[in-house]
A and B are shown apart, each in its own frame.
Chain A
Amino acid sequence: MQPLIRNREFLLALVVIALIALIGLRAPEFVTPGNLAQVFTDTSILMMLALGQMAVIMTRCIDLSVAANLALSGMVVAMVNAANPAIPMPVLLLLTLVVGGALGVVNGLLVWRVGIPSIVVTLGTLSIYRGTIFLLSGGAWINAHQMSPAFIGLPRVEFLGLPLLAWTAIVIVLLVAAAIAWTRLGRAFYAVGGNPTAAVYAGLDVGRTQFAAYVMSGLLAGLCGYLWVSRYAVAYVDIAGGFELDVIAACVIGGVSIAGGIGTVGGAVLGALFLGITKNALPVIGVSPFWQMAISGGVIIAAVIINARSGRRRGRLILREAQAQS
């Protein structure tokens, strides 16, 4: 076992706590339990998407279409709800999962069966999914008064002081953590990303594992599609525009290696929380909007540098010594 201080998740957790404390010095109202619960709720969607993205990144792929998938799934359920408010919520939840999952299947099949590089596939499907929303909706918005009260209200139902949105994230985090730790597929994510050749010799189908990661990312994006649309009570073509970058940033901050094979559920969750706290805190402490972007960007790069340093392997040192001697 690594000593605690070298444990990346432990370090990141310390950084998150330090961040909260630092904000608290400037804006004490930010650190109240009620507000922290709100920040957690606000970060729920990012957290769930980061878990899906983590699975994909671990298999040496990337899913740039998560936000577009979220927007399309959200638009579909919003339109169905607007057209027929009588359809019960469980059916709509199933629908959003089916749509999101199907879009994930498209990504997965293109990567697995057609063998196109994942960045190209998802760059393409990103545009296709956004375009499809426009075709479906004709560019029109679905607004609060067109949605049924149950549709808007469900994620806001409070249970033990937290809204259902936050509980959904907690349950998903636990489920994914269990799946990654104890299922064959979860271990396959690590194996396939860590060393694809060895994985093949061990009897693992690399493409199929990548396909499974995409479907998982798609299912989560579908679920978040409904949650997003009901949280902001509006659906239109551009919702969550550029959010895929936040999702990838959360993974990277959380120590998920872009090269594949490395990553933990705890890391991804902490990465998402870190971003969520920064995003929520900057407006409260009144930082100029021009600085906000620079600070967010700086934080991401700083986190990656720290991660890269702690992840540096011995082998490199030996090489450098060898280089110095020659």
Chain B
Amino acid sequence: MKLLKILAATAAVVATLSVVQAEAAPVRIGLVVKALGIGFFEAANKGAQEAAKEVGDAEVIYTGPTTTTAEGQIEVINSLIAQKVDAIAVSANDTDALVPALKKAMDRGIKVISWDSGVAKEGRLMHLNPSSNPLIGNMCVLLAEKVLPEGKGDFAILSATPTSTNQNTWIEEMKKVLPQHPGMNLVSTVYGDDLADKSYRETLGLLKSNPGVKAIVAPTSVGIVAAAQAVEDQGLVGKVYVTGLGLPSELAGHVKAGSVKSFAIWNPIDLGYSATMIAYNLVKGKAEAKPGASIPMGRMGEVTLDEDSTGAMADPFVYDAKNVDEFAKIF
């Protein structure tokens, strides 16, 4: 009898304790990145920690493999499952390879989302894109408008290869919004094939055959650097501006030289912040990840999911002389 009583009491205490623990335990979110030690993801972690601090009862476990491999990420995911985290937010090294591991996680009640680089639909509840094609196209046009005198004049596009899907989609989106900007005249689209020397030569050719061009939009990180260098070498700083998509560390020097006034790319801090907020809200049941749903992301507003349960975070973030040095240290 006595033994039974003790056992029962212990059980009760344990039960109470675990209930208490369950209430007080923070939401544990595993932030899985492509590889550790990459500036972009370190910055995303900074945003994730900010989100955790903001909500108060969340803990971010920042983890990832040492090299960008799917195998490494599967190992990391399995260990997160063993740790019984509440949510996993992953930037995947492989669209399909992670699906079985992530399915296993979801079977155990873990909320799985992907961000930055997505996984196939079966392996996640939703995917957060840093931006969307229409937003990127629109931003590129706005950036060009900003450097054209009074927002009017000739500009050109320096792309990657004529067959690169991303660039072609963005250029299409740019052309869609152009009619809203009368006075802006797209004179030519040239292709640098994402090779520094070809992009440089194409820029020279562009400036020669279209001397009226005042702005060059390069939605490719190799192209924008080469175009900026070509403009500097031609002594056209202040007359022709280069803009587009690029990384702060790669463009800091050209912003200083004056050939680039401003450019855009996603802000990794915001991205990590938003992914964490979404994961937290899904765990807390404040939102559900299904097509058409809106999920709050704290200071970043809301993300609306499309039929693939994919959503876009925001406009690309604009970098200029004021903030480029600060971000150049990050990525």
Interface residues of A (CB under 8 A from B): 27, 29-30, 35, 38, 42, 138, 141, 143-147, 156, 228, 231-234, 239-243, 279-280, 282-286, 289-290
* B188 lies within 8 A of chain A by Cβ: yes
7 other contacts beyond A145-B328, A232-B225, A242-B195, with CB at 8 A cut-off? Answer: A143-B249, A143-B251, A232-B197, A233-B225, A241-B195, A279-B201, A282-B205
Cα A141 to Cα B254 with chains together (Å) = 15
Q: Do A143 and B250 have beta carbons less than 8 Å apart? A: yes
Tell me the smallest distance from the CB of B164 to a CB of chain A, in Å: 11
Cα A201 to Cα B205 with chains together (Å) = 53
Residues of A within 8 A of B206 (CB): 283
* B2 lies within 8 A of chain A by Cβ: no
Cα A284 to Cα B226 with chains together (Å) = 17
Q: Do A232 and B226 have beta carbons less than 8 Å apart? A: yes
Q: A232-B226, A290-B162 are in contact. Are A30 and B208 (CB under 8 A)?
A: yes
Q: Do B201 and A232 have beta carbons less than 8 Å apart? A: no
Residues of A within 8 A of B209 (CB): 27, 29, 283-286
Residues of B within 8 A of A241 (CB): 195
* B175 lies within 8 A of chain A by Cβ: no
Residues of B within 8 A of A234 (CB): 196, 225-226, 229, 250
Q: A232-B226, A234-B196 are in contact. Are A42 and B253 (CB under 8 A)?
A: no
- How many residue pairs, one in A and one in B, have C-beta atoms under 8 Å apart? 76
Residues of B within 8 A of A29 (CB): 208-209
5 A-B pairs with C-beta separation under 8 A:
A30-B208, A143-B253, A283-B204, A283-B205, A289-B191
* B256 lies within 8 A of chain A by Cβ: yes
Tell me the smallest distance from the CB of B214 to a CB of chain A, in Å: 18
Residues of A within 8 A of B208 (CB): 27, 29-30, 35, 284
Residues of B within 8 A of A147 (CB): 253
Q: Do B229 and A144 have beta carbons less than 8 Å apart? A: yes
Tell me the smallest distance from the CB of B206 to a CB of chain A, in Å: 7
Interface of B is mostly: helix
Residues of B within 8 A of A138 (CB): 37
Kindly list the 7 A-B residue pairs having the minimum CB-CB distance in the complex, ordered from nearest: A283-B205, A144-B253, A145-B253, A232-B196, A289-B191, A145-B252, A284-B205
Residues of A within 8 A of B23 (CB): none
Q: Do B225 and A145 have beta carbons less than 8 Å apart? A: no
Among residues of B, the one whose C-beta sits closest to the C-beta of A235 is B196
Tell me the smallest distance from the CB of B222 to a CB of chain A, in Å: 8
Residues of A within 8 A of B253 (CB): 143-147, 233
Cα A276 to Cα B127 with chains together (Å) = 46
Chain B 222-262, CB within 8 Å of chain A: the 1/0 string? 00011001000100000000000000011111101100000
Q: Do A283 and B196 have beta carbons less than 8 Å apart? A: no
Residues of B within 8 A of A30 (CB): 208
* B287 lies within 8 A of chain A by Cβ: no
Among residues of B, the one whose C-beta sits closest to the C-beta of A144 is B253
Cα A241 to Cα B253 with chains together (Å) = 24
Among residues of A, the one whose C-beta sits closest to the C-beta of B234 is A38
Cα A233 to Cα B254 with chains together (Å) = 10
Q: Do A143 and B225 have beta carbons less than 8 Å apart? A: yes
List CB contacts (< 8 Å) of B97-146 with chain A: none
Residues of B within 8 A of A228 (CB): 197
Among residues of A, the one whose C-beta sits closest to the C-beta of B191 is A289
Tell me the smallest distance from the CB of B261 to a CB of chain A, in Å: 16
Among residues of B, the one whose C-beta sits closest to the C-beta of A143 is B250
Residues of A within 8 A of B201 (CB): 42, 279-280, 283
Which of B188, B225, B229, B249 is the one whose CB lies under 8 Å from A286? B188
Which of A35, A232, A240 is the one whose CB lies under 8 Å from B200? A232
Residues of B within 8 A of A242 (CB): 195
Q: A144-B257, A156-B233 are in contact. Are A283 and B200 (CB under 8 A)?
A: no
Residues of B within 8 A of A38 (CB): 204
Tell me the smallest distance from the CB of A133 to a CB of chain B, in Å: 14
Q: A234-B196, A289-B162 are in contact. Are A280 and B204 (CB under 8 A)?
A: yes
